[in-house]
Amino acid sequence: MFKRLTLALICCAGIASAEPRLVYSGRVSIEDAGGLSGLELGPNGRSGITVSDRGQVFAIKVRRTNGELSSVNLSPWPNRSKIEGDVEGIATRDAQTYFFSLEGPARVMSLSTSGKLTTLPRHPDFAKMRINRALESIAIDQTGTLYTLPEVASDADKGFPLYAFKDQQWRLATTLPSRGSFSAVGADFGPDNLFYLLERTVTALGFRTRVRRFDLAATDLGEETLLTTWPSYHDNLEGISLWQDARGATRVTMISDDNFRMIQRNEIVEYILQE
């Protein structure tokens, strides 16, 4: 069940202050399900939702034994089991209103407790984004501000534009530096209210995963690279959720998009950040 591998820990400003330790890696299976591209777990890490890029929404139940993840079960989400479109990311702050980022066309939608689905106003830049490389990620901070960004950098030198939604409008909040060939595929705010970015690249030997952390309040963004894996260590991880366990440790749970291909797998992995 467990994997052991020396991970490349790289930080552009020095050695990363948090070392991730893999504590679980396993498959997620449900009939006719695939393409799991977004993940949002509750504060206890035992339940939440995940979405397919074909618009299916699933409730996720996580079984834990002595605090450690041991199995995962998916079932249709009772609030809404289907959203039309290429759904890529999920965010919620209070488990009341959920937000979804979509590609083709790029947009963000909100779902209320009454089941009403609403498209948020769009930033003019959204219309210029490539259909299959648009809003992969969405996250919400402790103040309730939404953030989203496209899968690919607008320019290799400029990096990933990060948009913030407040007072019913999007603004360009900052630009996250692009490092190498990695694409931005998932995001979440941790218990520390720092911004965690999940990235993915494809090599001839398989997928590689990277997780970077940013302090959006810092002028230099406080960039840290926490995790970089070798090819094929994990599948195509695209969804990320952070939460704090009973011992006060930050857990990073991620889920993979199998692209509905037999040669890939729906995988869920969990790391503990050791600060």
Q: Is 267 contained in some domain?
A: yes
pLDDT at 16 over 50: no
User: At residue 115, does pLDDT exceed 90?
Assistant: no
Find out whether 237 and 16 touch, Cβ atoms under 8 Å.
no
CATH code of residue 153: 2.120.10.30
- Per-residue confidence band for 32, with pLDDT thresholds at 50, 70 and 90: low
DSSP 155: B
**Predicted local confidence at residue 258, as pLDDT:** 81
Secondary structure of the chain as H, E, C letters: CCCCCCCECCCCCCCCCCEEEEEEEEECCCCCCCCEEEEEECCCCCEEEEEECCCEEEEEEEEEECCEEEEEEEEECCCCCECCCEEEEEECCCCCCEEEEEECCCEEEEECCCCCEEECCCCHHHHHCCHHHCEEEEEECCCCCEEEEECCCCECCCEEEEEEEECCEEEEEEEECCCCCCEEEEEEECCCCCEEEEEEEEECCEEEEEEEEECCCCCCCCCEEEEECCCCCCCCEEEEEEEECCCCCEEEEEEECCCCCCCCCCEEEEEEEEC
Q: How confident is the model at residue 130 (pLDDT cuts 50, 70, 90)?
A: confident
pLDDT digits (tens, 9 = 90+) for 172-225: 999 999 999 999 999 999 999 999 999 999 999 999 999 999 999 999 999 999
Asked if pLDDT for residue 30 goes beyond 90, the answer is no
Q: How many domains does the chain have?
A: 1
What pLDDT was estimated at residue 162? 97
**What pLDDT does 17 receive?**
58
Judge whether 120 lies within some domain.
Answer: yes
Put simply, whether the predicted model's pTM sits higher than 0.75 gets the answer yes
Task: Report which of residues 10 and 17 the model is more confident about.
Answer: 17
The amino acid that residue 16 corresponds to is A
**Structural domain range at position 177:** 19-274
Residue 4 included in any domain: no
Q: Is residue 10 part of a domain?
A: no
With respect to residue 12, please indicate whether it lies within any of the assigned structural domains: no
- Mean per-residue pLDDT over the chain, rounded: 88
1 found inside a domain: no
Residue 132 in domain: yes
Asked if residue 106 is part of any domain, the answer here is yes
**pLDDT value for 158:** 80
pLDDT of 88-108, one tens digit each? 999 998 888 999 999 878 999
